[in-house]
A and B are shown apart, each in its own frame.
Chain A
Amino acid sequence: MKRAAALGIAVSLSAAAALAQSDPLGLGLPEPAAREEGDPVRGQAIALGGPFEDLGRVSCAQCHGIDGTGDDSGAFPRLAGQGAFYLYEALNDFATGARPNEVMSPIAAQLSDTDRRDVAAYFAAIEDAAYPAPRDANADLLQRGGALAAIGGIGGDVPACDSCHGAQGAGVPPVYPTLGGQHEAYLVQQLELFRSGERGSDALGVMRAIAALLSDDDIAAVAAYYASVRPEPSP
């Protein structure tokens, strides 16, 4: 009986807290009850609406584009069609600092768990976002990157990227992100961050260990390759 009573108090306290904090983003979006399934419609409102008053009302779309195409600066990856759980985990990692980033960390930290799921669901649901026009890439570089991606290499110690990320980097949800069609400069930068250990959010350190074996040329090759291909829809 005692335990049940204590539990009742805890529940009513958290309900009160939720009431007090309703609409924390200032977008007329009351905080819903906790859930696991993301709501893409609510996510769209967050992504486009420009919450974060203290951050100058910046919105996701401002940098990543309304339909999540990003750009080739290296700072703004393509989010459209990316796995929802991967995007949600990325926001968690930005928020906790496992993946330190001066811009994303304070933004992610202001989003509730449900906000993160909803934003992730929104970008994951965008299927038809345009890709940039193909660049003129060095054929030798593409060949080398394609071989690394498809069969691995580097003295037999590096597994094929596609082993986890799927053929042509299509992504294998929920964990393995889509690489095909991602911006080249972003892929280079992330592999460098894995190699230096600054991006420490990969499960069991798998990507850090692989990136540690890659030379600058390997990274340039594999990034050029994945930027040049388009993920095939899974059968």
Chain B
Amino acid sequence: MAVRLPEIDVVLVGGGMTAAIVGKELAEAGQRVVALERGQMRQTVPDFQSPTMHDELTYSIRHALMQNPEQQTITFRNRPDQTPLPMRRLGSFLPGEGVGGAMVHWNGVTWRFQPEWFELKSWTEERYGRGFVSDEVTIQDWGVTYDELEPYYDFFEKICGTGGLPYGDLTGGNPFGGRRSNPYPNPPMKEPYALNLFRTAAAGMGYSPFPAPSSNATRHYVNPYGAELKPCMYCGYCERHGCEHFAKASPQVSILPAALANPNFEMRTGAWVTRIEHDPDAGIVTGVTYVDAAGREVFQPASMVVLCAYAYHNAVLMLQSGIGQPYDPATQTGTVGRNYCYQTFGGATVFFDGTVRFNPYMGAGALGVVIDDFNNGSMDHSELGFLGGASTSVSQASGRPIAFHPVPGDTPGWGLAWKEAVRRHYNSTLSISAQGSSLPHPNNYLGLDRTYTDAFGNPLGMLTFDFPDNDRRMAAFLTERCVEIGEAMGASVVEGNDLAEHYSIVPYQSTHNTGGTVMGADPTTSVVNRYLQSWDCHNLFVMGAGVFPQNAGYNPTGTVGALAYWAVDAIKNQYLRNPGPLVQA
């Protein structure tokens, strides 16, 4: 028998970025809020302090800050006719575990998506005609526009202390970006030599380089919550590591100090949510069941449940709880699990002769120079044969000794020749990376596995994914452009980085998983409405990148943050006054 706790106003599933945002805001609105985090409490001091935090083996290679796949993982296959197998070691993506979630070990790149991205289907049909993409490309509109999200992007940048251009006034920056109400709250990062080479070459080719929008603070900064970020030291241990300097925006630095100061908010750690309880007849959720740190099953009744776990965890939890209709690829009906998307990369590795010295160990997660000339809204796709695009950049995020040893493709994989090549190329190699969009395909989805279960006996989530043809054509185009720029930079060797023949879950690619609980205006093709409210249960809301109907050619965190503030605004100012569906189906 589960222990039944007294009812509370709001339960948040998860203790990461969106839980911190929703918890802070709803506690301030007078709601009693508890966040259920399966991992442990973690704070900048003492948990992220160096030199311990610079232990690359522990944190970067052995994933100390991330989900433990021995307790729960997902199974994977490329196509629906294959047998899925469990991912027993984290590979292609790295969900977090513990307070702060994946925002503890992110890099800090904080984009706004281009405006047309939110109305992709309408925009594509209007611009290129109805038949431009095949029916297999199940793109859709988000039900929210860039202009509606703009104030929330602006606020999220202020919370993160994002630095970039425009700074000071509204001039400069990305010429292909959407309208801004304010410049970035902080100046951009310093520009090391490798980035300057890219800037010079790209500008010479007629492109428009600008500094990557970075939430690695560039100066002392106090955010609207009164939290202080301190300047980045360019130590190069951002991604996969916690920041010892209070410089990288994380829930611990930017949001939780304010949230935890409010007695209405509780962060309950060691609480593993196994089920959302719901009453299908009434169309409401009644609370959640979790297993606490002592192994007891606990029922926490609540007037509202907000799913704030990692992108695909939210979809899996809804499937495990039987809320909404599961997506079925055979009939292409159902919504939960639909439109799983990822990120599609093109790029080039650019080798210079040994007199060029980049000092790659001097870096920061979001230290980059970018061109947006190849992003979706920047190009005319009429003759290109694909839809989508990429933010294309050279970044200097890390030259860490285990992971960073670029060598030309014809180098042996081990032995003296490999060592000599590492020595030769370590300090004079850079990568141009085109971080491309990912468009949905009917075969790419999240479901439940029939064979494998997690530590609590619940079926594992099951991922079916391969790169759609549209995205393959895009990646090939992007790689060609990256090679051209690399050659213009005066390199000795430029190698194009082609997309793998099939997506593999083994090598790390990107922790930018999206979809599965997508938002939209039509309940037959979306799980949540434009306010991230479940179509099935009006007191259930879903945060995170799982609500993206398709993934853009950018890092997702800025949009996840903006959507969280947008949804919280609707909850505070509409839903709490008059609980019920905010959009009629």
Contact = CB atoms under 8 A, between A and B. Distances in A.
Q: Do A and B bind each other?
A: yes
Interface of A: 150-153, 156-160, 162-164, 166-167, 203-206, 209
B220 interface: yes
A151 B231 contact: no
Contact of A204 (B228, B231, B244): B231
The 10 closest A-B pairs by CB, nearest first: A151-B46, A152-B45, A163-B50, A160-B49, A204-B231, A163-B244, A156-B45, A167-B51, A151-B49, A152-B49
A208 to B, nearest CB: 9
Given A164-B233, A204-B231, A209-B230, A159 B49 contact: yes
A205 B49 contact: no
| Chain A contact surface mostly | helix
Interface size class, chain B: 10 to 19
B246 interface: yes
B51 A159 contact: no
Interface of B: 43-46, 49-51, 53, 219-220, 228, 230-231, 233, 244-246
A116 to B, nearest CB: 23
A205 B246 CA distance: 14
Contact of A160 (B220, B231, B244): B244
B46 A205 contact: no
Contacts of A153: 45-46
A231 B375 CA distance: 50
Given A204-B219, A205-B220, A157 B51 contact: no
Given A167-B51, A206-B231, A159 B44 contact: yes
B225 to A, nearest CB: 15
B45 A151 contact: yes
Contacts of A167: 51
Given A153-B46, A157-B45, A159-B244, 10 more contacts: A151-B49, A152-B45, A157-B246, A160-B46, A163-B51, A164-B233, A203-B231, A205-B220, A205-B231, A206-B233
A162 B244 CA distance: 10
Nearest to B244: A163
A167 B43 CA distance: 20
A89 B252 CA distance: 34
A194 to B, nearest CB: 14
Given A156-B44, A204-B231, A162 B220 contact: no
A163 B48 CA distance: 9
B445 to A, nearest CB: 42
B248 to A, nearest CB: 12
A37 to B, nearest CB: 15
A204 B49 contact: no
A163 to B, nearest CB: 4
A206 B230 contact: yes
Contacts, number: 54
A159 B49 CA distance: 7
Interface centre among A162, A163, A206, A209 (most CB of B within 10 A): A163
A166 B44 CA distance: 17
B399 to A, nearest CB: 15
B58 to A, nearest CB: 15
Contacts of B228: 157
Contact of B49 (A150, A157, A203, A206): A150
A158 B43 CA distance: 12
A162 B50 contact: yes
11 contacts: A151-B49, A152-B45, A153-B45, A153-B46, A156-B45, A160-B46, A160-B50, A160-B244, A163-B244, A205-B220, A205-B231
Contacts of B219: 204
Contacts of A151: 45-46, 49
A156 B43 CA distance: 8
B51 A152 contact: no
Nearest to B233: A164
A228 to B, nearest CB: 19
Contacts of A150: 49
Nearest to A149: B49
Given A167-B51, A204-B220, A160 B230 contact: no
A164 to B, nearest CB: 6
B259 to A, nearest CB: 15
Contacts of B53: 163
A150 B48 CA distance: 11
Contacts of A203: 231
A43 B246 CA distance: 39
B216 to A, nearest CB: 12
Nearest to A210: B230
A159 B220 contact: no
Contact of B220 (A152, A158, A166, A209): A209
A163 B46 contact: no
B427 to A, nearest CB: 16
Contacts of B46: 151-153, 160
Contacts of B45: 151-153, 156-160
Contacts of A204: 219-220, 231
A135 to B, nearest CB: 26
B184 to A, nearest CB: 17
A179 B233 CA distance: 18
Interface centre among A156, A158, A162 (most CB of B within 10 A): A156
Contacts of A209: 220, 230
A164 B49 CA distance: 10
A19 B230 CA distance: 47
A163 B49 CA distance: 6
Nearest to A206: B231
Nearest to B252: A156
B153 to A, nearest CB: 27
Nearest to B46: A151
Contacts of A158: 45
A162 B233 CA distance: 13
B223 to A, nearest CB: 15
A164 B50 CA distance: 8
B256 to A, nearest CB: 11
A13 B299 CA distance: 85
A227 B244 CA distance: 24
A163 B231 CA distance: 14
Contacts of A160: 45-46, 49-50, 244
A205 B231 CA distance: 9
Interface centre among B46, B51, B219 (most CB of A within 10 A): B51
A156 B44 CA distance: 7
B49 A162 contact: yes
B245 A159 contact: yes
A79 to B, nearest CB: 24
A220 B537 CA distance: 59
A162 B51 contact: yes
Nearest to A158: B45
A156 B49 CA distance: 11
A206 B53 CA distance: 19
